[in-house]
Amino acid sequence: MIYSTILYKAWLFFPGSEGLITGIIIAGFGIGGFIFTELSTHYVNPDHIASIKVNENDASSKFFPMSIA
């Protein structure tokens, strides 16, 4: 829903360049995910503490200590 509102307003502001504007906006949303993932990781886990493997047989059983959780 957010895409449609922003894209519509951008198309009105830049008539004739709808494809270029759409590409820039969608790329901005994608790049924002990479940037904010790194920022939130450094905010939550600033000491880069590794996860602890609880069960050696299960690859998905990794948990962080309570100080991070």
Q: pLDDT per residue over 12-30, tens digit each?
A: 999 999 999 999 999 998 8
The whole domain housing 13 covers 2-63
Mean pLDDT score across all residues of the chain: 83
- The domain total for the chain is 1
Q: Is 58 within the bounds of a domain?
A: yes
Q: Is 57 within the bounds of a domain?
A: yes
Give the DSSP H or E segment for 15: none
Q: Is 13 within the bounds of a domain?
A: yes
pLDDT at 69 over 70: no
With beta carbons less than 8 A apart as the criterion, state whether 10 and 4 touch.
no
Give the DSSP H or E segment for 62: strand 62-63
Q: Is 38 within the bounds of a domain?
A: yes
Q: Which residues of 4-24 are buried (b: 16+ CB within 10 A; e: fewer)?
A: eebeeebbeeeeeeeeebeee
Q: Is 68 within the bounds of a domain?
A: no
